[in-house]
Amino acid sequence: MDRSNLYRRFRTLLIANRGEIACRVIRTARAMGLRTIAVYSEADRGAMHVALADEAVLLGPARARDSYLNVERLIEAARKTGAEAVHPGYGFLSENAEFARACFDAGLVFVGPTAGMMTAMGSKSGSKELMEKAGVPLVPGYHGDAQDDATLAKAAEKVGFPVLVKASAGGGGRGMRIVRSAAELGPAIVSAKREALAAFGDDRMLIEKYVDNPRHIEVQVIGDSHGNLVSLFERECTLQRRHQKVIEEAPSPTLNAAQREAVCAAARKAAGAVNYVGAGTIEFVSDGKDVFFIEMNTRLQVEHPVTELITGIDLVEWQLRVAFGEALPLKQDEIRLNGHAIEARVYAENPTKNFMPSVGKISTWRLPAETGGLRIDAGYREGDTVSPYYDAMLAKTIAWAPTRDVAIDRLNRGLEESDVRGIVTNIPFLSALITHPKVRANAIDTGFIERELAVLTSAAPAPGELELCAAVAAIVNEERQAAQAEASSPWQTFGWQPVGRRQRSFAFRVGHGPEQKIALNYGSGLSTLVIGERELAFTITAKDGGFDLTLDGVKSSVAAVIDGHELYLRTRNGRFDLHWVDPFGGESEEHVGEDKIAAPLPGTVVAVLAEEGAKLEKGAPILTLEVMKMEQTLRAPFAGVLKSIKCKVGDIVQEGVELAVVEPTGE
């Protein structure tokens, strides 16, 4: 192989990805003077990464397999634009050896390892075989080529339940199932294979012993084409849900200095087994005593910013310099660990509804300024649309501080000051998670979120006096700003009238709860708010994204968003969604019964799990949809008979479409 074609200086870079990581790569590449090329699907025509790049090429329809996973179209996009190199980001084709090989064959520099390195380490099965020969400790399991049901079942029995069934080619929790008995194994394999094929185009599985109460620790490595290989300390990624990382931090609060050096040395040994070139991550699982190799991710990780913040190293810049054929800028003993960093992944999902993905237009996008140790890596803006076709991650909020406790406080402040509307996000859930006493005490394992889910997704507090006053103030503030936009008039001044005083009544409710009433007195003299027997003087000072509300001499900062009669408020007491009851009546609401078995979001029917006429217990699975690259199983809302199924496997269904009818037994 002509190595000069592998690593050489280039001026034009195509980013074969979308969303936050595409934006992230574009920023560093442009800072290095490179011309950047974005690619996009029909669903991403107006996306942020398209706007940021110097040029952009349409790949095809919305579905990833017709656009971002289409190797031929990506190579053609590079050819059309004169791109000399390709950065794959993470996800999609970032660990696909065939894509790396296709780039090489097309004369493009692939910003990452070679196809051979990727094959050796990118496959969970292949890397385990390699690590076994190198003497790196492994979790007991099966990682062979035979993929028939009998072989996998025999392997699981030999390892002993519980086992982990997971995709050999992927990551991010997709194609992964915990199986606790032989009876669960067959359906779990079928589902995992289907999900893996959809996400990665590869349904090969491996079987591992499931480690109870595990901790997830990973080490960032990067190597160059001159034989240099370094580790950039470790990250703790134990806070997960369904094997998907939620919070990541660096360094690990679990390890002492000696353990840190041992695991980093093991990671360098693992990557050195294939003379690794590029950025990669060696992942380990710990049972509290021993550390076992799980896999290597032959790409940049979602959580790479925490490593950047504790080392001061721009990993994307180092990736590009390695691709140029340069030597690493620092040697191992020159890399210093400074402080602590922690990251939260912001998703378009509803934690109170089993983390169901949320789609739609982002009507409000307010994130805090990147100051005081706070960093925001985002892939969306106000006005962007979150589609059902791709991963639901919107942004990452990352905080750095000299100590872990201060980093947690900074991250929480950043989350508390974030307001995203038009879709549902996991921001309140993230804030509840990182402020949990056991998280602060590092008394966690990978099952922590599932155990504490009820606490972490508990109902928001009821609005109090401050929130009711803020609701009226928000309406008055918006009306005043609208009046100020009109021609000069004395009515522009809030509460102005020639003589006397008047009263205006308001009523608010949360959901279908009772109405809470408050009155506004205005005119000559101070304006006041009346709740029950209490009368409170108040003033409003407008500012970006909300206002300062001074209530009986106490000033409070309020963030507010008004959409018709729906109000969103953020006060010192938390976040609140209120409905302003129409003072003139005429309200009508559509009530959809919980027994309606309908598509929660646009998706594809991938499995029908029950037959018409079958008697079902409450919670029995009926069919499975693939939504945002993850599977969602719809279940019977009550005991009954499956009267009809209104769809078939392969159907693409829209949100709200009825898919099945269950007739209650009357019990």
CATH code of 203's domain: 3.30.1490.20
Say how many C-beta atoms besides its own lie within 10 A of residue 496's C-beta: 12
Give the C-alpha separation, 552 to 604, whole Å. Answer: 55
Is the four-CA dihedral 269, 270, 272, 277 of positive or negative sign? negative
The CA distance from 271 to 3, in Å, is 20
Whether residue 281 sits in one domain with residue 221 = yes
Strand partners for 421 = 364
Could you tell me if 97 and 159 lie in one domain?
no
Task: Pick the last residue of a domain from 111, 132, 166.
Answer: 111
Whether residues 269 and 390 fall in one domain: yes
* Helix-helix angle 315-324:19-31, to 10 degrees: 60
CA distance 86 to 444: 39
Residue 484: what pLDDT? 77
115-122 and 124-134 helices, crossing angle to 10°: 80
Per-residue pLDDT band for 666 (boundaries 50, 70, 90) equals: low
- Comparing 247 with 356, which gets the higher pLDDT? 247
What is the pLDDT, as a whole number, of residue 122?
65
In this predicted structure, what is the pLDDT of residue 171? 67
Which of 161, 193, 209 is at the close of a domain? Answer: 209
Annotated active-site residue in 260, 299, 375, 480: 299
Amino acid 123: pLDDT: 66
Residues 383 and 472 in one domain: no
Q: Tell me the residue range of the domain where 180 lies.
A: 140-209
Mean of pLDDT values over 178-191 = 93
Identify the domain boundary among 209, 240, 261: 209
Cα gap 247→316, rounded to integer Å: 21
Please tell me whether residues 494 and 603 are part of one structural domain.
no
The dihedrals phi and psi of 525, each to the nearest 5 degrees, come to 85, -170
Residue 519 CB coordination number (10 Å):
15
Does residue 591 lie in a domain region?
no
Residue in the block written with tokens 């947690």: 408
Same domain for 220 and 199: no
In-domain check, residue 590: no
In a domain? residue 176: yes
pLDDT above 50 for 604: yes
Mean pLDDT of 76-93: 97
Same domain, 76 and 56: yes
Together in a domain, 393 and 351: yes
| Percentage of the chain modeled with pLDDT above 90 | 70
What does pTM read for this prediction? 0.82
569 and 654 both lie in a single domain:
no
CA atoms within 13 A on the CB side of 34: 30
Say whether the peptide bond before residue 329 is cis (omega within 30 degrees of 0). Answer: no
In 259-392, the DSSP E strands lie at 278-286, 291-297, 340-347, 349-350, 356-357, 360-361, 364-366, 374-378, 385-386
Residue 292 confidence class, pLDDT cut points 50, 70, 90: confident
Q: 389 and 292 in one domain?
A: yes
- Tell me if 123 is assigned to some domain: no
Query: Dihedrals φ, ψ of 633, to 5°?
Result: -95, 125
Q: Which residue has the tokens 């791109």?
A: 83
pLDDT, tens digit, for every residue of 540-555? 999 988 999 999 899 9
Give the lowest-confidence range in 458-462, 464-468, 641-645, 653-657: 653-657
Residue 66 is predicted with a pLDDT of: 95
For residue 72, report the phi and psi dihedrals to the nearest 5 degrees. -60, -40
- What is the amino acid identity at position 396? K
What ranges make up the beta strands (E) of 359-441? Answer: 360-361, 364-366, 374-378, 385-386, 393-401, 419-421
Mean per-residue pLDDT over the chain, rounded: 90
Average pLDDT over residues 458-473: 93
Instruction: Report whether 14 contacts 37 (CB < 8 A).
Output: yes
Q: How does residue 619 score in pLDDT terms, banded at 50, 70 and 90?
A: confident
Q: Examine the pLDDT at 585 and tell me if it is beyond 60.
A: no
- In the annotation, is 299 catalytic? yes
- Per the DSSP assignment, residues forming a β-bridge with 280 are 221
Please state whether the peptide bond connecting residue 251 to the residue before it is cis, i.e. omega within 30 degrees of 0: yes
Query: pLDDT at position 590, please?
Result: 39
Q: Could you report the per-residue pLDDT of 488-506, keeping only the tens digit for each?
A: 544 444 544 445 678 999 9
Domain identity same for 450 and 472:
no
Amino acid 595: pLDDT: 59
CATH number, position 77: 3.40.50.20
The pLDDT assigned to 134 comes to 77
The predicted structure's pLDDT at residue 295: 86
Residue 434 has pLDDT above 90, yes or no: yes
Q: In the predicted model, is pLDDT for residue 588 greater than 50?
A: no
Spatial distance between the Cα atoms of 631 and 612, rounded to a whole number of angstroms: 22
**Residue 4: its pLDDT value, please?**
53
How many structural domains is the chain composed of? 5
pLDDT digits (tens, 9 = 90+) for 268-278: 999 998 999 99
Per-residue confidence (pLDDT) for residue 629, from 0 to 100: 65
161, 181 in Cβ contact below 8 A? yes
Same-domain pairing of 543 and 503: yes
Binning pLDDT at 50, 70 and 90, where does residue 650 land? confident
> With pLDDT > 70 as the criterion, what percentage of the chain qualifies?
93
CB 580 within 8 A of CB 567: yes
- The Cα–Cα gap between 513 and 577 comes to 12
What confidence tier does 583 reach under pLDDT thresholds 50, 70, 90?
confident
Q: What is the DSSP letter of 43?
A: G
What is 20-35 written as a DSSP string? HHHHHHHHHHHHTT-E
Predicted pLDDT at 491? 41
Least confident of 94-103, 135-144, 182-191: 135-144
